[in-house]
Amino acid sequence: MSIILPSYQYRWIYLGKIKVKGLKTNEKNKPVLNLELKKIKSISLKNMFDDETLALKNVVTLFPVSPDGSYAVRISENVLNKINTTSSIDPKSINVLYLDLINHEDPTKFENQLIIVSASKKLDSIFVTTLNFDSTKPRAWVIFYFNRETLRSILRDELKEKDIDVDDINYIDLEYGSETYNLHGEFYLASDAQFFPKSFMKRISEEDEKQIYSQSFNIYDLSVTTSSLTIDEIHVGGSLYIKPRSGKIPYQYPFVIPFTYSKGSTIYPNDLYLNTFSLNIKVKVKLDKINDFIKNFIQYVKRSDHLLQSIQKVAMSKVFVEGIKECKIAEYEDIIRVERNTHFLSDRSKFTSIVFGHLIEIYKKFVSEGDKIKNIVDNLDVDKLVEKLTEIIVESEKKINYNNLRTSKCMDELKQRIVVSILELSLHGISHLIKKALISKLSLNPGDLGEYIIIRSPSILIKNLQILDGFYFYDTLTDNEIQGEVKIFVKRSYSYDTFNFFGSKDYNDVIDSIKNIIYIKNQDFRCDYNWAHEKLQLNRTYQILQNDSRTVNNVKLSDCITQLDGYIKGVVGSRVFYPPRSMFRYLYLKKFYVENQIEKCNDNLDQNRIDAIYKELKRPLQYIWPRYVHQCFDGCYSCVMLQKRECELIEVQQEYRISKAGALFLLQI
């Protein structure tokens, strides 16, 4: 296993020891692991190749370092094993390498990070923290790679006494320097973690713009151009995405550089594309057409239930959520924010990661409020839609200042923000559809195409926002309109000369390819057809399961399967809005929920018998719930979503940052 580290502007990596001081109990009567981190030696990255420190000279080539020593990307286990054999250790301590990214002058800073890697033969586990939101206490994002058997061995007696395992520990008190960091988090398997790299697009120049298509649709204008683009793709680390198989809620951990243009002397890994071919889609919406634009969008998404889910995405968008705060409709702490800012590129430039608990909360509210929202949609009532989406995003209706919400000033601003949100979602969808079409037309690989989305609007809508996640860019526009543009560019220098033949006929070919992706005959959605076919197959399997005569602990499995089917049908089967499949099991199929249904089959079961039945039901469950949850959540891998590394965002984030409905609405296909 190789250990991913953030690409970061640090100059030192430290050799240290973690002393396991034992278990204690906190005020919530929960077990707390007490650790002490001590520095033994500082290792300069810049001089590492010539350094005899800890006899690492022969293995340091396995530890990539930038030319100026400012970042390291991954550590091989060979390095860790070498450290383990060259440093003495007592039975209660663990040798570690660690990165200290903490501002020790202000230990309460939001950006503080500690990345700790134990020097073990097999690093099979990760502990990651959620942030301590008490701004008066020392706080840090901490990620700790370790071997759980090592911890179990050190804590054997105390774990046995408390009748718990290492996995049951959610609290760590980490003593480091003069501070104690009270950490709350989760233990995960290292095999459940994936690294998603992040990039920062810096447009340098653009020329030779040529228009190949233009159309006015009354409520908005659409134009398509080609151009020669010079762009710098700056690699700024990424995020560690942990998607556990155990049923724990997923976690996204940020590894992002606070990048600014001012640090001209700092070397960052980058790819510079000179005079590359770019296909540009531009949309303009006049401010006096805002109401009509939203109405037409709502009318369009009513074509299919899976398109209707786009309304969930509009509500969760950063620009709409910020509007609730800016209009003083609700206090900051009362707004449910699906994304958190992990690091600032500058004052108005942000990378984000998901707050999965909040994401689940929003999905649940849409499921429960679905009928009311559908009624508003059917009546094309934009004002009521704005009000209902606000109620979804704020924790409680009691926390909403309806006097402010219902003023024409706030209502107009929130409508404009909804338009910005629709453009963000739609242009991202257009980008992915065009990427899929261009790959075959221009004989490109999926990784050969990049995307760059620009939103231009009145400054009030993008206050405190300039760049989002490296490829959404926001600019102030003084004209009486909102503009959106996506640039799909080839990641090959001088590719403009190769592809500048691209004209209106080629664009029409791309649109035809997109139609083939989206539709089957008679303009039926391919995703609807796919789900109908899937349900047909799953229903056959379900009938077989219902006729299964097997029993476990005198309980018929078919009875439990019928019970679970009724439970799932009750929570989502007839609902207008539903969560994406990627999040469904975290909402409704946690072990606790399934066990409740098992007990309804036989209320005389002890926990061991319930566990045995649960184990037998885990496989059949996968044939039950997909019959009630559409495989497309206004976007899936069959239409607008791209595979890992073809889009900057992790799967779950990509799902609510993209819209098939919006893409088709803008393209009018």
Q: How does pLDDT run across 284-318, given as a tens digit for each residue?
A: 999 999 999 999 999 999 999 999 999 999 999 99
Give the integer Cα–Cα distance in Å for 661 and 640. 10
- Which amino acid, 244? P
Question: What is the gyration radius of the CA atoms in the chain, in angstroms?
Answer: 27
pLDDT of residue 310: 97
List the chain residues with pLDDT less than 50.
49, 51, 53-63, 67, 69, 260-265
Per-residue tokens: 556 = 């018929």
C-beta of residue 171 within 8 angstroms of C-beta of residue 32: yes
Helix-helix angle 660-667:504-518, to 10 degrees = 140
pLDDT of residue 56: 46
Per-residue tokens: 299 = 């009318």
Per-residue tokens: 453 = 């989305």
C-beta of residue 660 within 8 angstroms of C-beta of residue 638: no
DSSP single-letter state for residue 214: E
CA–CA–CA angle 63, 66, 72 (5° rounding): 45
> Residues of 570-600 as b/e, b for ≥16 C-beta within 10 angstroms?
ebbeebbbbbbbbbbbbbbbeeebbbebbee
Cβ neighbours for 579, distance < 8 A, ≥ 6 positions apart: 360, 363, 366, 367, 572, 587, 629, 633
Give the integer Cα–Cα distance in Å for 237 and 269. 10
Task: Please report how many Cα atoms fall inside a 13 Å half-sphere around the Cα of residue 11, on the Cβ side.
Answer: 4
Residue where the block lists tokens 């607008």: 640
DSSP single-letter state for residue 192: G
- Cα 175 vs. chain centroid, distance in angstroms? 31
DSSP single-letter state for residue 5: -
Give the residue ranges of DSSP H helices in 602-650.
607-621
pLDDT of residue 347: 62
C-beta of residue 202 within 8 angstroms of C-beta of residue 234: yes
Report the relative pairing of strands 472-476 and 449-457 from DSSP bridges.
parallel
Cβ neighbours for 140, distance < 8 A, ≥ 6 positions apart: 102, 107, 112, 113, 114, 129, 181, 183
- Cα 243 vs. chain centroid, distance in angstroms? 11
C-beta of residue 493 within 8 angstroms of C-beta of residue 275: yes
**Count of positions (residues) in the chain:** 669
pLDDT tens track for 489-537: 999 999 999 999 999 999 999 999 999 999 998 789 999 999 999 999 9
CA–CA–CA angle 117, 122, 123 (5° rounding): 35
Cβ neighbours for 282, distance < 8 A, ≥ 6 positions apart: 222, 223, 224, 225, 483, 484, 485
Give the integer Cα–Cα distance in Å for 641 and 432. 7
Of the candidates 533, 584, 636, 667, the residue with the CA atom closest to the CA atom of residue 307: 636
Q: What is the 3-state secondary structure (H, E, C) of 547-598?
A: CCCCEECCEEHHHHHHHHHHHHHHHHHCCCCCCCHHHHHHHHCCHHHHHHHH
Cβ neighbours for 139, distance < 8 A, ≥ 6 positions apart: 107, 108, 109, 110, 112, 131, 132, 181
Distances (CA, A) of 460 to 14, 328, 609: 45, 14, 60
pLDDT tens track for 393-417: 999 999 999 999 999 999 999 999 9
Report the relative pairing of strands 179-189 and 171-176 from DSSP bridges.
antiparallel
Give the integer Cα–Cα distance in Å for 15 and 539. 57
Helix (H) or strand (E) holding 513: helix 504-518
- Which amino acid, 315? A
Distances (CA, A) of 433 to 297, 372, 503, 527: 19, 32, 18, 14
pLDDT of residue 263: 46
Give the integer Cα–Cα distance in Å for 4 and 64. 11
Measured torsion, CA atoms of residues 268, 270, 274, 278, in degrees rounded to the nearest 10: -120
Give the integer Cα–Cα distance in Å for 423 and 403. 28
Of the candidates 69, 68, 174, the residue with the CA atom closest to the CA atom of residue 115: 174
Q: What pTM, to 2 d.p., does this model score?
A: 0.90
